Amino acid sequence: AVFDPAHMITLDRSRSRIVVCIRGTMSLRDSLTDIVCKATRFFGGWCHQGMLEASNTKIRTLLPKLIETWKNLKQETGIEFEVNVIGHSLGAGTAAILSVLLREALPQYISIRCFAFACPAVMSEFVCEKYKDLITSFVCEDDMVPRLTYVACVKLASRAIEARRHAGAQFREKAIEKSKKMLGAWE
């Protein structure tokens, strides 16, 4: 479904982790989640609307399971498991926003960490600063996805249109000049 990238939950008992993994873009429906990139209000700042919708879908299904699993593991082992939310690309953006939602929804004694690989720019600087200890983002050298924002796309499109206009005007001038030379040769 749109706004519902695939996920899985697993346990890493050796490290006392409950791990939520969210897949990146793989289908047309996932692409639709990516392109609903209007900025929407989010904890005093802004975030990516499509990935917020995906995070809201995830929290409705995951929150009760995470709380139950955490409590059962605590009772069974005596250890307080940490919740790790991990994703790549669309999954990373969803994981980052979901981690903020989980931090606000879960009791403070449940530790949460997010590991976001090639995470798109999904939250405003204010929100990023507020939750900087929660999310670790990994970017591979010149990967454009983490740097790609709606505003950057609009600027790029404007520059491309202007470049085309400029190139078109130069082309017309050169074509007229060549035509004049060719016509002059016939005189």
| Active-site choice (4, 111, 137, 143) | 143
Distance in angstroms (rounded) separating the CA atoms of residues 22 and 114: 11
CA quadruple 100, 101, 107, 113: dihedral positive or negative?
A: negative
89 is catalytic: yes
The yes-or-no answer on residue 137 being catalytic is no
142 phi and psi angles, rounded to 5 deg = -100, 20
| Active-site pick, 30, 34, 89, 99 | 89
Q: What is the mean pLDDT of residues 27-44?
A: 92
pLDDT of residue 87: 98
φ, ψ for residue 103, nearest 5 deg: -60, -40
What does the pLDDT look like over 110-129, one tens digit per residue?
999 999 999 999 999 999 99
pTM: 0.82
- 185 pLDDT exceeds 80? no
pLDDT band at 155 (very low <50, low <70, confident <90, very high): confident
Sort 36 into a burial class: Cβ within 10 Å, 0-12 / 13-18 / 19+: middle
pLDDT at 111: 97
CA neighbours closer than 13 Å in the CB half-sphere of residue 129: 6
pLDDT at 5: 96
Higher-pLDDT residue of 158, 4: 4
What is the tens place of the pLDDT at every residue in 14-31? 999 999 999 999 999 999
Nearest Cα to 102, choosing from 74, 80, 135, 151?
Answer: 135
pLDDT above 90: percentage of residues in the chain: 71
- Report the distance separating Cα 172 and Cα 154, nearest Å: 27
Q: Taken in order 46, 51, 53, 57, is the CA torsion positive or negative?
A: negative
Q: State both tokens at 64.
A: 């009760």
